[in-house]
Amino acid sequence: MTDDSLSSHLHEMDLSPDPAFTEQANGTAAMYDEAAADHEGFWARQARERISWATDFDQTLDWSEAPFAKWFVGGTLNVAYNCVDRHVEAGNGDRVAIHFEGEGGDTRTITYADLQREVSKAANALESLGVATGDRVAVYMPMIPETVFTMLACARIGAPHSVIFGGFSAEALHTRIADAEAKVVVTTDGQWRRGKPAPLKAAVDAAIHHGEDESPVEKVLVVKRTDTEVEWDDSRDVWWHDLVDGQPDTHEAVPVDSEHPLFILYTSGTTGKPKGIFHTTGGYLTQAAYTNAVVHDVHPESDVYWCTADVGWVTGHSYIVYGPLANGATQVLYEGTPDTPHQGRWWELVEKYKVSILYTAPTAIRTFMKWGDDIPAKSDLSSVRMLGSVGEPINPEAWLWYRKNIGGGKAPIVDTWWQTETGGIMISPLPGVTTLEPGSAQKPIPGISAEILDDDGNPFTEAEKVGYLVLTKPWPAMLRGIWGDPERYKETYWSRFGPKYYFAGDGAKYDEKGNIWLLGRVDDVMNVSGHRLSTAEIESALVSHPSVAEAAVVGAADETTGQAVCAFVILRGDAVDNGEETVQELRGHVAKEIGPIAKPRQVMIVQELPKTRSGKIMRRLLKDVAENREVGDVTTLADSSVMNLIKEGMTSGSSD
């Protein structure tokens, strides 16, 4: 579709809410007014109505030590009790919590009563390994039920978990384990990837035996998933089936303070060192449950919900584990890739489990568009009534494809903007309430306040003017800091526009209707397939290679993945440029240092990098080259001929 026909098509569509949907929707128009009239009162009500407290809180928000927030002060609760036990106590023990589908087709149906037993056994097992309230547990696992059991078992004990995405390398795992000083690691022998087992525990072994450093890890608990051969340390390693299966299936959930840390999740920032974003208990759970109810519109008694994110990212935390389970929802958990054994796998699962709510990423939608409409058309998708998108802007064309081919031409789509740091959804339409606008995340949800600022930090509302997105009021699921680095927390989020505004790092604008459009990162953070990567982290991985003298990385526009990693590299004087071989070696090196997700799409070997007189690399110009555009203004370069040299002389290798 051309841009013109796309916009006239959009113009003709009626995207106002369907009254039948509105009638049953959990979100209401009145919520906006309620929250605007009494911000804290609104959140206190969400906390009391949606969450079971062991001790009620006596203060909703303590912002006296801003930007360090305390929500629901004085309250105590247990997250696992809220996500599991209370549903069993309410008589819903037979309701399915998880329909698990392994990549190879093996399945498991886990009811809330089953979940209570499994989580209790896992909690007893972790305690037998010495894990106590406050200890950190690293989780390096694929998308299997034991991962959910482990996270909830940690929450049950009050031991913060740090889940590390299974696609990260041993090196990345080492840094994260060391930073959080994790005492126990839970992992699997391997994971299924496109029909083949890939080792996982081996990376844990390498992360623990890393250089001279003494590892904080005392025990490694290993689920057997793929029968992959593993090296074994008898004094440290324990099989899950040996330890967990025999544990008592009851366990007392200990209430913790509302501000007790629930988890740490590492994310990329603008420096080479990942940030341990940490979230606490009461506020996080309240917002996860509230947003899953009003934005995804989950009705636990009738819906089958499926969030396709990996549990290693924040979306998996908030919208596979904590939000839906706090609400007592039934959901699908799928281990594998969308094209195993064929490209229609997801749609077969939607038909099989009668999925009614699907939450996924634009990059996946664009991939399905490429694969063709006939593939989803082979399955009966009539159960779908609600769709969601997260991770990056969803372009109108993908939005329309999603609605037509997956949503039966009528399912509302919620484009949800949020971040690891925000813990839960912040800007999104409310289905059944909002008239939708494809491509825009639209408005802050009730209880959330955002503005767009100009370069001088002044808010504006003019249409089409580009500025910086900020959040103007504390919110319950906000990060409480960066693990071990309160200064970096203040500096990163609360200094660019003074202590009043949380700076999200995203560019944004309003349209004529007052809808917010997110325009991507304004810092050196890239978004590849909805995954956050830092240019600095990849640059430091590249310069750690003996042949590399200097490296500059940019995120270049990519039709499928949103952005792709493009690296410009200067080799050391004594290094030999073997063309394609060198390029492949450097790509492989990044995959080894960080993980396959960070592998550059392109590595270009150059003689010079464009720098300002003060020595700052001008990434904007490199982006022009990577995106095959006319190179922009070069007048601030120390040597303006550099760009010509780069364009003429580069050896470029591209992805496999």
Binding positions for ligand PRX, rule: CB under 6 A? 267, 314-315, 390-393, 415-420, 441, 504-506, 518, 521, 527, 532
- Phi and psi, residue 403, nearest 5°: -65, -45
- CA 184 to chain centroid, in Å, comes to 23
CB of 10 to ligand PRX, least distance (A): 18
CB of 425 to ligand PRX, least distance (A): 8
Residue with smaller CB distance to ligand PRX, 308 or 527: 527
Please write down the HEC assignment for all residues of 497-564: CCCCCEEEEEEEEECCCCCEEEEEECCCEEEECCEEEEHHHHHHHHHCCCCEEEEEEEEEEECCCEEE
439 Cβ contact partners less than 8 Å away, ≥ 6 residues apart? 393, 394, 395, 396, 399, 415, 517
Handedness of CA 115, 117, 121, 126 (dihedral sign): positive
Residue with smaller CB distance to ligand PRX, 188 or 267: 267
- Residue (of 289, 414, 288, 299) closest to 359 by Cα position: 414
Residue with smaller CB distance to ligand PRX, 496 or 532: 532
CB of 293 to ligand PRX, least distance (A): 18
Residue with smaller CB distance to ligand PRX, 84 or 386: 386
Between CA 647 and CA 628 the distance in angstroms is 10
CB of 505 to ligand PRX, least distance (A): 6
Q: How far is CA 400 from CA 337, 384, 392, in A?
A: 24, 15, 16
Residue with smaller CB distance to ligand PRX, 565 or 642: 565
- CA 61 to chain centroid, in Å, comes to 26
Between CA 170 and CA 333 the distance in angstroms is 26
Residue with smaller CB distance to ligand PRX, 356 or 534: 534
Beta strands in 69-188 (DSSP E): 70-73, 76-77, 96-101, 107-111, 137-140, 161-163, 184-188
CB of 594 to ligand PRX, least distance (A): 15
CB of 315 to ligand PRX, least distance (A): 5
Tokens 């839970």 appear where? 186
- Residue (of 421, 417, 420) closest to 429 by Cα position: 417
Residue with smaller CB distance to ligand PRX, 223 or 413: 413
CB of 508 to ligand PRX, least distance (A): 9
- Residue (of 471, 317, 464, 448) closest to 390 by Cα position: 317
CB of 222 to ligand PRX, least distance (A): 28
20 Cβ contact partners less than 8 Å away, ≥ 6 residues apart? none
Residue with smaller CB distance to ligand PRX, 271 or 651: 271
CB of 334 to ligand PRX, least distance (A): 18
Between CA 137 and CA 150 the distance in angstroms is 9
Q: Name beta bridge partners: 199.
A: 190
Using CA atoms in the order 295, 300, 304, 305, what is the torsion angle rounded to 10 degrees?
30
Residue with smaller CB distance to ligand PRX, 332 or 390: 390
CB of 467 to ligand PRX, least distance (A): 15
Residue with smaller CB distance to ligand PRX, 76 or 442: 442
3-state DSSP call for residue 10? helix
Between CA 195 and CA 225 the distance in angstroms is 13
Residue 214: CB atoms within 10 Å: 8
CB of 390 to ligand PRX, least distance (A): 5
Residue with smaller CB distance to ligand PRX, 129 or 522: 522
- CA 271 to chain centroid, in Å, comes to 19
CB of 440 to ligand PRX, least distance (A): 9
If residue 397 lies in a helix (H) or strand (E), which one and from where to where?
helix 396-405
Residue with smaller CB distance to ligand PRX, 103 or 451: 451
